[in-house]
Structure 1
Amino acid sequence: MRKNSVAGVAQARKRSAKVCVRCRRQKIKCSGTQSCFSCSNRNLSCIFDDMSQKVLVTRRQLAELKQRAAQLEKHTSDRHTSLGSASRERPPENTPDNYYTPPDGENPESGLVNPLVSGPPAFMSPGNGRTYYLGTSSNWSFARRVLSMVHEHVHKESLPTEALAFEGTAYDLGWDGSRTDPSPESPVIPTLDHAIFLINAVRFRCGRLYHLFDDSDFKESLYSFYSEGQRTRPRGLWYIHFLIIIAFGKMFTQVKYLKGKPAGISLFVKALQILPDHTLLYSSPMVSTEILCCIAIFYQSLDCRTASHNYVGQAMRMAMAHGMHTCMPVTDLGRDSVERCRKIWWTVYILDRHMTSIQGLPQSVDDHFIQTKLPSPVSSENITSLDMHIKLCRSIADINARVYATDGRLDRSFLLNIKGALSNLAGLADELNKSFPLHLEATDSGLSRVSAYLHLFYQQCVIVATRPLLFCFLKIRLESAETCVQSLQKSHNVRNLIKMCLDSALHSIRILHCLASQGLLETFLTFDLESLFISTVVLLMAPAIDRQLVVNDTWWHATADLIFNDMVEAGNQIARFRHSEIQQLDEKLNLLLPNQDQNGQSNPEVLQHSITKHPLSSHEAHTATPMEENSRADPFLGGETTRVTGCAFEPSLTSAEMMAMANSIELFDAEWVSTMMDNHAIW
């Protein structure tokens, strides 16, 4: 009997041995040692969660602990009362201006941070006395950070800024921004039929994505405007609105820019010159908010990002001051006004979320304060696209808040933040593919411009969420190529996240190629250019980190150059500057590839190949595309041959695949990233 009891005690003790996190999750036997046999055999981090281990205490010990906790709580409460509310709100004396108190539950000693958001704010100056802030999630600043880091590694000096383009330098508007003495001359106004044609072009290019004007009200004012003589025509807010819409129409319909200036620029400048003060704008909040949105989009297309973000902010505040973010009562305000306000609000919301992300700045409005409904559907297709557009904007805002927060960490929470962002994004994959199919493989059906835009936006969300890992590994690669490859091989899940980023970039270029082949590539609005730019940057980084990361290298290189050239030939100066920056980055990254002599000097033939590999002229672009099997004529390539499908890439991930990818990130992956970043001083 005694032997049985002793055996039972031995078994109980054996069952109560320590079990690591992975063995408990996998429900397998754990040796209880640090590291356990199972984790050691798989070369994985072995983590023991001591907080879940059960301990035995007596009732007396438990009572004493409760009494001590109550005394400590009372002492703390009395101390806070004596200090007073004023001292509680002030930081301690002699603390720096950037004093920060971590929120409850956060470990203030965790020092590893996202390299794109950590440390002091990053700035860059072109040498003219002005400085530019490099926003955390900004595509432009990400490329500049990568280019600067690689240039300093290769040339052992800071990146010169003379050959780089900065915001607002792509075009000469012929206006210094002053309204003190606007020109009394009126711009050339198109005839009525021409104006209707231009307005319809704006409706086709923007109508499914943004609300820029009210159809019925705008058309009524249009006919009234043309019914008057030139001298008696009105010059109020509608006239300003009309000038900007016509300027948009000229941008969309004129194939080539004249003398390097965008078409319709004189109409846009005139509208800005006569734009009244906000005291007058607030008297007509609906029209004024529509005007401010139009100005923001136009400025964004001129690469005046700060001005664009400023006008979106003004539109947001005007809309909120009018209560457009609330559930406006139809009985008091009328259905037409409420419906128009709903359309205006969601356009302001979309522009604010999208342009804030492009700038790399914090979001301005919390979603918890937004109560307005979607507008009543004119068609189910319109409301579905608006709903998806809003969901994607919320996703990019969620990514900015999780991955690019001011204390974005590269310890275990950093990778788990990426996991959370991808989990939220995964829920949109199936809905997007079902409601907005692309049919990239089809040869007998056209591509929907709206569907392509939404898919490009989705892929951009994936890239923005995962590209900090690429930046980290590039930094490790600059220290040691061997260490970089070994580090990537140690975590299959982290490597898969990087692969997901690159696959999204390849998928984006494929979509843009199909748009260009059907004449639907957007050469004025910058969203296609943004997608092309960020996709090309991350794809250029990959071979420098590990040459096995990217496949179809020749195809995407040639295709990206073709698309850049197509935009440049249409007169887009921003595309020309971005392409030049891409070529500089490509040249410097090629110097990191293992094609060097024994003295560490770059092979001149390899350098020459890296410079001339990507075509610059239209003729070179159309003849440099590689020949593939099963190819056929492609109108985008001017009769040359390449695969219509743009190489047989896998389709975009489904919701289940995205969720499986996110769920595969385990605690030991996060611990491994934390250790690796600490070892390489990436913060």
Structure 2
Amino acid sequence: MNPKVLVLSMDSSTKKLRPKRLRVPHACDNCRSKKKKCDGKRPCKLCKNAEHECVYSDRRRNVMTPEESEELAPLPPRDVAMKLLWESWNRACVLFRFYHRPSIVKILDSFYEPSQGLTEEQAKARPLIYAILAVGALFAKDDLQEGDVTMREFYQDEGERYFVAAKSMLDVTNIDDVYSIQTMFMLTMFLQCSANLKSCYSYMGIALRAAISEGLHRKNSLVGPTPIEDESKKRLFWTVYKVDIYMNCILGLPQSISQKAVNQELPRDLDDENITSEGCLEQSWGKISSTGLNNEHTKLMLVLSKIHDALYPVLQWNETTYANMLSLQSDLDQWLLQLPMQLKPDYNWVDEAEREEYLKPSKLLHMDYLLARILISKPFIHCIAIEAEEAPHYAFQISVAWNCIQVAHEVVHLAQDMIDGNLLISGYWFSVHTIFYSVTCLMFYQHLLDLSLAKSNGMDVQNDCELGVHILMCLKNGSQAGERSFNVLNSIFKEFNRKTTDLSLQVRATVAPQEPMVTPEELKFFNMESDEYLDRLLKDFLPGEMDLESNFLEELET
């Protein structure tokens, strides 16, 4: 008898996902020969522990084509699938709307209806369905208590099974239709939420190049036959494009396509239900659709792209740099000014329903707005080591440096507010990056204070550092993604601290050469102390040389 494994099922009383046991359709050769229970993974647990090669021979009696054969993971019951779809839509993709949800729900329903085989549309959309379920499974873990480790691991496994199924149905060398581009993007979201940025960047590149190849960056790609197709194309392009901008800015890489090459219009500010095959219905007055608020995020990402192009790297300080910074800050101010009232950071909600609909996107928009402000001021943070009275010609750079510290303070307190409201989880990798960077800036300032290399501006920076570390601990403990994020970000910001310290000492030597310089030994000690402080954030889940990448993610790399 084949062993049994857990799959997702909906608990009718709590409306939460719970596992139920089903038979594994195929045991590996080793487990079958030894009559052991096999968990059906590749490799299975028994083979992995025994360091045996895990082989699954083809035991099917009838030879079938890939379209009559079963997926690597069967679809879950319909109610579970709908739950995972909603988790993906309402958590992972709050600021990334790239499909028409009623159309996807209709396709999903069709898989649970009696049929003789897959239709052409089902065959094209099936990988997307699995990719959506994969991301939904990752975020479904947040319905559970942190102490429920077994169930959290189970959801992680389910997500990976759906991811592998979606990936296996795609030919990544031939991504040439909207469904396959949507699938590639959703797989990118899975990798991002798993903190696997290397594969995430590669997948994003495939999705963007495919979108450009299909002409989705141009208005002339809008050929119908219905508004659903046209609006889906606009949503898809702008979502792929802005996430590519996002990743390049964070990773310090050049932009993939210039804004000058794009003339596609933004999607219409319409609820999905107002977009039909027959035409578009008018949006209710004063109501912002989820696509409308996504458009505001897209506009912000375009400003972020301009910041990255203009200021990174800053090779020298001159009038052009000064003019660019003033212009970019003006662009950010204008973006905030024209933001709809419901999405402004200080908006007072009229009623609970409005608050429920707009609170999360408003907070996420605010976090990314603060990221843009940090990126404007980051190149000059080392200037907090000098006083304006000592060097009046550095007054602007000094004010920009202090602004970076102030924004870092705002980020930490916004993050705490979001955690208190259950609006921030470790799967939001970009937000975690912004928080981690802000904490590092604050820690850098605190270390300068400790060494008397900077003066206090009245901020309780020690408290901010402690609060920031507490927030990062909460996010780290939330998932494997949180742990991986910590590991990646720790190495990035150690290098940042070292370089920024060197710049601080150089600028102090230029401005006040009569002051005694920090000796090389003192500088070495300072950098070691900074590294150790960051290391302490990791020590409780890095007891030794631990590989945080799962076997599944290692397999993707090959």
When the two structures are superposed, what TM-score results if normalisation uses the length of structure 2? 0.65
User: Shift in Å at residue 301 of structure 1?
Assistant: 2.5
1:541 Cα deviation after fit = 2.1
- 1:216, 1:270 → 2: CA distance? 23
Deviation, structure 1 residue 198: 0.9
Q: Give the Cα separation in 1 of the matches to 2:87 and 2:305.
A: 31
How far does residue 185 in structure 1 lie from its aligned partner after superposition? 6.5
CA contact (8 A) 2:235 2:267 kept: yes
Does the aligned pair in 2 maintain the 1:590–1:607 contact within 8 Å? no
Other-structure match for 2:263: 371
Amino acid at match of 2:77: T
For the residues of structure 2 that align with 1:564 and 1:581, how far apart are their CA atoms? 15
In the alignment, the residues of structure 1 paired with residue 462 and residue 101 of structure 2 have an alpha-carbon distance, to the nearest angstrom, of 47
The 2-side partners of 1:330 and 1:521 are apart by 36
- 1:643-674 deviations in Å (ceiling 9; x for gaps): xxxxxxxxxxxxxxxxxxxxxxxxxxxxxxxx
CA distance in 2 between counterparts of 1:275 and 1:367 reads 29
Aligned ranges 1:527-538 → 2 under 5 Å: 527-538=430-441
1:569 and 2:477 matched: yes
Work out the number of aligned pairs and report it: 425
Q: 1:550 to 1:573 in 2, by over 3 A?
A: farther
Match for residue 240 of structure 1 among 127, 131, 137: 127
Q: Is the 8 Å Cα contact of residues 222 and 233 (structure 2) preserved in structure 1?
A: no
Distance 1:182 1:360 in 2: 45
Q: 2:454 aligns with which of 530, 543, 546?
A: 546
Q: Within 1, Cα distance between the matches of 2:523 and 2:178?
A: 63
Would the alpha carbon gap of residues 411 and 602 (structure 1) be closer, same or farther in structure 2, given more than 3 Å must change? closer
Give, as a single letter, the amino acid of the residue that structure 1 aligns with 2:328. A
Q: Is the 8 A contact 2:138 2:156 kept in 1?
A: no
Q: How does 1:225-374 map to 2 (within 5 A)?
A: 225-228=111-114, 236-255=123-142, 257-258=152-153, 264-279=159-174, 281-282=175-176, 285-328=177-220, 333-374=225-266
Equivalent AA in structure 2 for residue 399 of structure 1: I
Q: 1:218 to 1:408 in 2, by over 3 A?
A: same
Q: Secondary structure at the match of 2:265?
A: coil
> 2: CA distance between counterparts of 1:456 and 1:345?
23
The one-letter amino acid paired with 2:258 is D
Whether 2:327 is the aligned partner of 1:420: answer yes
Moved more, 195-204 or 568-577: 568-577
User: Matched residues in 1 for 2:306 and 2:95: separation?
Assistant: 21
Counterpart of 2:232 in structure 1: which amino acid? R
2:80 to 191, 194, 198: 194
Pick closer, same or farther for the CA change 1:348–1:580 going to 2, 3 Å: closer
Superposed CA deviations along residues 571-606 of structure 1, whole A, max 9, x for unmatched, are 222243257559968998999999x99x969999x9
Q: Per the alignment, do residues 291 and 532 of structure 1 end up closer, same or farther by CA in structure 2, a change over 3 Å counting? A: same
Tell me how far 1:307 sits from its aligned partner: 2.7
Distance 1:532 1:603, change over 3 A: closer
Offset, 1:396? 0.9
Q: Pick which of 255-264 and 570-579 moved more.
A: 255-264
Q: What CA deviation, in whole Å up to 9, does each residue of 1:477-519 have, x standing for no partner? A: 6xxxxx7787566633322111211111111111111110111
Q: Does the CA contact (< 8 Å) of 1:558 and 1:614 recur in 2?
A: no
Residue identity in the other structure for 1:223? D
Among 214, 230, 238, the alignment partner of 2:100 is 214
Query: How far does the alpha carbon of each residue in 1:116-155 deviate from its partner, in whole angstroms, 9 at most, with x for none?
Result: xxxxxxxxxxxxxxxxxxxxxxxxxxxxxxxxxxxxxxxx
Aligned-partner Cα distance in 2 for 1:583–1:319: 33
Indicate the SS of the match to 1:238: helix
Unaligned runs of 5+ in 1: 1-171, 176-180, 478-482, 619-683
2:85/2:133 contact within 8 Å kept: yes
Mapped to 2, the partners of 1:404 and 1:586 lie a distance apart of: 14
Equivalent residue for 2:466, pick from 547, 550, 558: 558
Q: Is 2:430 the counterpart of 1:519?
A: no
Instruction: Determine which structure has greater relative contact order: mean sequence separation of CA pairs < 8 Å that are 6+ residues apart, divided by chain length.
Output: 1
Amino acid at match of 1:242: I
1:468 aligns with one of 365, 372, 379: 379
Distance in 2 between residues matched to 1:331 and 1:601, nearest whole Å = 62
Q: Distance in 2 between matches of 1:417 and 1:469?
A: 14
The 1:553/1:376 distance shift into structure 2, 3 A limit, reads same
Q: For residue 493 of structure 1, what is the aligned residue in structure 2?
A: 396
Q: 8 Å contact 1:540–1:586 — kept in the other structure?
A: no
- Give the match for residue 438 of structure 1: 345
- Shift, 1:616, TM fit: 7.3
Return closer, same or farther for 1:329/1:498 CA change in 2, 3 Å cut-off.
Answer: closer
**Partners of 2:489 and 2:256 in 1: CA distance:** 32
Separation in 1 of the partners of 2:251 and 2:523?
38
How many angstroms does 1:291 deviate by?
0.9
Within a 5 Å distance, the mapping from 1:572-611 to structure 2 comes to 572-577=482-487
CA contact (8 A) 2:245 2:255 kept: yes
Letter in 2 for 1:241: L
Cα shift at 1:461: 0.8
CA distance, structure 1, for counterparts of residue 379 and residue 497 of structure 2: 22
Q: Indicate how the Cα distance of structure 1 residues 607 and 217 shifts in structure 2: closer, same or farther if over 3 A, else same.
A: closer
Looking at structure 2, the residues matched to 317 and 616 of structure 1 have their Cα atoms a distance apart, in angstroms, of 37
Checking the alignment, whether the CA contact within 8 Å between 2:184 and 2:204 is kept in structure 1 is: yes
1-side partners of 2:269 and 2:461: how far apart?
44
User: Secondary structure in 1 aligned to 2:111?
Assistant: helix
Contact in 2 for aligned 1:587/1:611 (Cα 8 Å): no
What is the CA–CA distance in structure 2 between the aligned matches of 1:489 and 1:182, rounded to whole Å? Answer: 76
Alpha-carbon contact 2:367-2:414 (below 8 Å) kept: yes
Distance in 1 separating the partners of 2:264 and 2:43: 41
Contact 1:565 1:617 in 2 (8 A): no
Which amino acid is 2:131 matched to? Answer: I
**Paired residue type of 2:86:** N
Aligned mates of 1:582, 1:365 — CA distance in 2: 26
Q: Deviations over 1:446-483 (max 9, x none)?
A: 78111111111111111111111124x48xx6xxxxx7
Structure 1 Cα separation of the partners of residues 305 and 534 of structure 2: 39
Deviation at 1:361, TM superposition (A): 1.7
Amino acid at match of 1:272: K
Asked whether the 8 Å contact 1:403–1:414 carries over to 2, the reply is: yes
Aligned CA distance change for structure 1 residues 348 and 602 (closer, same or farther; 3 Å): closer
Rounded Cα–Cα distance in structure 2 between residues aligned with 1:555 and 1:408 = 34
Q: Distance in 2 between matches of 1:276 and 1:580?
A: 35
| Aligned CA-pair RMSD | 4.3
Describe the superposition over 1:257-306 as per-residue Cα deviations: whole angstroms up to 9, x where unpaired. 42896651222123223322443x31xx1111111111222222233324
The answer to whether the 8 Å contact 1:182/1:274 transfers is no
**Paired residue for 2:303?**
395
Listed as ranges, the gaps of 5+ residues in structure 2 are 1-40, 45-55, 59-69, 143-148, 272-286, 506-515, 541-558
Distance 1:600 1:209, change over 3 A: closer
Contact 1:173–1:261 (8 Å) recurs in 2: no
Contact 2:92 2:428 in 1 (8 A): no
Tell me the percent identity: 17
> Separation in 2 of the partners of 1:374 and 1:221?
25
- Please list, as runs of the form range in 1=range in 2, the aligned pairs for 1:57-68 lying within 5 A after superposition: none
Q: Per-residue deviation at 1:192?
A: 0.8
User: What TM-score does the superposition give when structure 1 sets the normalisation length?
Assistant: 0.54
Matches within 5 A, 1:139-158: none
